[in-house]
Amino acid sequence: MSALKIVSRPKLKRPVFIVAFQGWNDGGQGATLAAGYLARLWDATRFAEIDPEEFFDFQATRPQISLIEGETRALTWPENVFFHARPEGLNHDVVLLIGVEPNLRWRSFTDLVVGLARDLGVERVITLGSLLADVPHTRPAPVTASGDDSEAIDQLDVDASRYEGPTGIVGVIQDACRKVGMKTVSFWAAVPHYVSLTPSPRAALALCERVDQILGTKLGLDELEQAVDNYSESVSEAVAGDEETTSYIEALERQSDSGEPPEEYEPDIPSGESLAAELAKFLRDRENDGDDSSPAAG
């Protein structure tokens, strides 16, 4: 029995495949925030999923318990779900895979993903990732790109990635898609390492903008842009009381504005956990005051 469960097989026209996973590939949740925002913006329809049983160590990636209306407990297993949509203004479809990086059997998992993509007639694959880097939260997130669709990449305002080293499931899927003749592009947005545990709508916005450019659509990103403003304000407020962190961020801002290499500066900044806790408290206080500042990504 296949782990791929197809609820209904859509009839699609020359679909583009967009892929994002939680986990190693998703610093600050930038990639999955972007993909979730696109799925919601396009009113995408869920049509297939991959059964997690074969691909997860549930002691490493545990199912989650949540309360519904404060009483009923609901159990949620790690999901890898496929959606399809026809964005306004496009003459072809989009397929999205939004999920969680598997713990086990990556080659079998990739075979399922690529096999479905081939069956659907996918011509181009766009993988999304976000990584931790020495960048400030107050500036647009830098984006790098790689892949064999060089003509498309050359038309975008991105730097070519020169990365060599360990990869995540998006790298494995990108390589497999390339080997079967699909054009591939991988976008990675940088997330400030000092707020790595805080969801980054700024990284999500940067990725959505690149997807918008490569598809030639006119995405409505106003809601995500508002989330970016709230994020920048909230992080700045959370770190304002620490002079060392503030000085470090100012150094990163100078570096970003000048395009020069990083300054030799090693501050004793608080841990990501500490900053995330401060930011969470700040956001709770704002919500209690009636200010909804949560990231606009579904």
Q: Are 200 and 184 in contact (CB under 8 A)?
A: no
87 and 146 co-located in one domain? yes
Q: For 39-94, what is each residue's pLDDT tens digit? A: 999 999 999 999 999 999 999 999 999 888 777 788 999 999 999 999 988 999 99
What is the spatial distance between Cα 44 and Cα 95, in angstroms, rounded to a whole number? 9
The tally of domains found in the chain comes to 2
What is the spatial distance between Cα 16 and Cα 184, in angstroms, rounded to a whole number? 10
Host domain of residue 273: 224-288
In a domain, 16, yes or no: yes
| Dihedrals phi, psi of 53, to nearest 5 degrees | -55, -40
pTM to 2 decimal places: 0.86
186 and 51 co-located in one domain? yes
How far, CA to CA in Å, does 69 sit from each of 66, 72, 74, 76, 254?
10, 7, 11, 16, 47
200 and 269 co-located in one domain? no
In a domain, 295, yes or no: no
DSSP 3-state assignment of 69?
Answer: coil
What is the spatial distance between Cα 211 and Cα 42, in angstroms, rounded to a whole number? 13
Comparing 236 with 83, the larger pLDDT belongs to 83
In a domain, 67, yes or no: yes
Q: Are 244 and 267 in contact (CB under 8 A)?
A: yes
What confidence score (pLDDT) does residue 266 get?
47
CATH number of residue 144's parent domain = 3.40.50.10900
212 and 240 co-located in one domain? no
In a domain, 32, yes or no: yes
How far, CA to CA in Å, does 290 sit from each of 168, 240, 245, 286, 294?
39, 22, 29, 7, 12
What confidence score (pLDDT) does residue 25 get?
93
In a domain, 6, yes or no: no
44 and 110 co-located in one domain? yes
Question: Which one of 197, 220, 243 terminates a domain?
Answer: 220
120 and 249 co-located in one domain? no
How far, CA to CA in Å, does 161 sit from each of 29, 124, 146, 190, 208?
20, 19, 6, 12, 18
Q: For 122-154, what is each residue's pLDDT tens digit? A: 999 999 999 999 999 999 999 999 988 877 788
Question: Which one of 176, 205, 220 terminates a domain?
Answer: 220
In a domain, 148, yes or no: yes
Average pLDDT, the chain: 87
253 and 168 co-located in one domain? no
